[in-house]
């Protein structure tokens, strides 16, 4: 199977996530970018999603809180091709009890080649890109080919 090239529509599906010490930063960023965000379908985890809904007065699909499965829910939506962007203001200075879930989420974002911002500067560059307002041919990896090559390599080493 060749890599698929699905089209990311002009109306993006954006996941917004923030750790506790970064929630205010994300809220401020979202408030500043409300008009642009209003043109897209928004997703959020737990408290962050609730705060964004209230702050922006925009519809938002909410998942569980990150520590109780929300990060994994977003990761699943990325793997299913149902989320196009991840804006995740994570806290590099505070240990998280669900760190394996966070790493899995970030791994899936990279694996499925979706734009990901972990801080305000990157989020600013992504949201101000001309690509935000139009369709985009999004190349995704050929995971079947990758797995076949990996199995062959492991088989040869046995």
CATH number of the domain bearing residue 84: 3.40.50.1380
- pLDDT of residue 77 exceeding 60, the answer is yes
Domain limits at 125? 9-139
Q: Could you tell me if residue 104 is inside a domain? A: yes
Provide the annotated active-site residues.
71
Q: Could you tell me if residue 2 is inside a domain? A: no
- CA–CA dist 40, 132 (Å, integer): 9
Structurally, the chain folds into a number of domains equal to 1
Global pTM reads 0.85
Q: Could you tell me if residue 157 is inside a domain? A: no
Banded model confidence at residue 1, pLDDT cuts 50, 70, 90: very low
By C-alpha distance, which of 63, 57, 58 is closest to 17? 63
By C-alpha distance, which of 32, 52, 51, 54 is closest to 42? 52
């Amino acid at each position: 199977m060749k890599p698929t090239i699905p089209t990311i529509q002009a109306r993006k599906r954006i996941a917004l996530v923030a750790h506790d010490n970064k929630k205010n930063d994300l809220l401020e960023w979202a408030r500043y970018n409300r008009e642009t965000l209003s043109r897209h379908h928004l997703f959020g985890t737990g408290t962050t999603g609730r705060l964004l809904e209230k702050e922006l007065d925009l519809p938002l699909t909410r998942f569980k809180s990150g520590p109780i499965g929300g990060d994994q829910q977003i990761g699943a939506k990325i793997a299913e091709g149902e989320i196009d962007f991840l804006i995740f203001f994570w806290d590099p200075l505070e240990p998280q009890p669900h760190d394996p879930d966070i790493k899995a989420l970030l791994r899936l974002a990279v694996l499925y080649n979706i734009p990901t911002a972990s801080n305000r500067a990157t989020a600013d560059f992504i949201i101000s890109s001309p690509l935000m307002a139009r369709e985009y041919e999004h190349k995704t990896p050929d995971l079947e080919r990758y797995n076949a090559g990996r199995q062959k390599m492991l088989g040869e080493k046995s």
